[in-house]
């Protein structure tokens, strides 16, 4: 009796992964709006120039797939690094534990450095459709983080706390993704810090910003919003 071996699903999965990784590389290095889906298909070696449309439908579909892939890996790293004994953490330890998976990503995945650069580009993306998609995906995590910060920083008003959290998020993604710039700064080569020390200094910087006294009293009645 002949056994039939079905190879199409595996082949499709390999093709999808190859296309996705090429999209990640090109988006990370050239920008979200500089690369067409057709070019990604060609650069990935696909004989079908419409392969990206077949697997992901459109650019938003590609970006959602990339975010899901990166988020899954970050979640896996966080699980591996999570301390066995749970206890109430200090603000500093909580921030360090949250950032550690980002710092570890390049060492754990061959596409990790490109993944960080892609996240960095998303963090400051102004395209409404892309920003809306990113916000929808990130909202649950951002709300959990905001809730945790509310317990640690009870004297900060919610609007000020959330504004600082957004400043922090943008700085983190850009800083971690572009860490190579430390080799050539106006103050000389600062790249001699090891990974753990860099993480510690980043956490110190962020904690200082989060805990800084607010010199401006937040009054919603005085805030003008664009119409």
- What is the structure's pLDDT at 163? 93
- What is the structure's pLDDT at 220? 57
- What is the structure's pLDDT at 49? 83
- What is the structure's pLDDT at 223? 53
Q: Among candidates 149, 170, 169, which has minimal Cα distance to 159? A: 149
Give the start-to-end residue ranges of the domains of the chain.
85-213
Token pair for 155: 């004297």
Scan for tokens 């120039």, then name that residue. 49
Q: What is the pLDDT along the chain (227 residues), one digit of tens a residue?
A: 444 444 444 566 689 999 999 999 999 999 999 999 999 999 999 888 889 999 999 999 999 999 999 999 999 999 998 876 566 778 888 888 889 999 999 999 999 999 999 999 998 888 899 999 888 888 888 898 899 899 889 989 999 999 999 999 989 999 899 888 899 999 999 989 988 999 999 999 999 999 998 876 655 555 554 44
- What is the structure's pLDDT at 226? 41
Are 111 and 21 spatial neighbours (Cβ–Cβ below 8 Å)? yes
Long-range CB contacts (within 8 A, 24+) of 208-215? 209/164, 209/167, 209/168, 210/91, 210/149, 210/153, 210/161, 210/164, 210/165, 210/168, 211/91, 211/153, 214/156, 214/157, 214/160
- What is the structure's pLDDT at 29? 94
- What is the C-alpha separation between 120 and 171, in angstroms, rounded? 9
Question: The domain at 85-213 falls in which architecture?
Answer: Orthogonal Bundle (1.10)
Token pair for 121: 């580009």
Are 168 and 206 spatial neighbours (Cβ–Cβ below 8 Å)? yes
- What is the structure's pLDDT at 6? 40
Long-range CB contacts (within 8 A, 24+) of 22-25? 23/52, 23/62, 23/66, 24/66, 24/69, 24/111, 24/114, 24/115, 24/118, 25/111, 25/114
- What is the structure's pLDDT at 3? 44
């Amino acid at each position: 009796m002949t056994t039939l071996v079905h190879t199409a699903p595996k082949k499709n999965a390999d093709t999808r992964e190859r296309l996705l990784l090429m999209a990640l590389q090109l988006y990370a290095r050239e920008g979200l709006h500089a690369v067409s889906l057709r070019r990604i298909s060609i650069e990935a070696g696909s004989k079908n120039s419409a392969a990206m449309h077949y697997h992901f439908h459109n650019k938003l579909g590609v970006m959602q797939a990339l975010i899901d892939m990166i988020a899954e890996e970050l979640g896996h790293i966080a699980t591996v690094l999570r301390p066995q004994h749970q206890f109430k953490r200090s603000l500093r330890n909580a921030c360090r534990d949250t950032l550690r998976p980002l710092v570890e990503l390049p060492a754990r995945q061959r596409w990790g450095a490109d993944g960080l650069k892609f996240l960095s580009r998303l963090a400051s993306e102004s395209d409404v459709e892309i920003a809306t998609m990113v916000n929808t995906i990130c909202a649950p995590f951002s709300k959990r983080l905001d809730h945790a910060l509310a317990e640690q920083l009870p004297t900060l008003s919610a609007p000020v706390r959330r504004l600082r959290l957004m400043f922090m998020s943008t700085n983190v993604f850009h800083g971690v993704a572009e860490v190579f710039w430390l080799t050539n700064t106006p103050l000389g080569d600062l790249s001699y810090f090891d990974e753990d020390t860099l993480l510690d200094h980043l956490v110190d910087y962020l904690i200082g910003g989060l805990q800084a006294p607010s010199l401006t009293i937040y009054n919603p009645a005085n805030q003008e919003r664009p119409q």
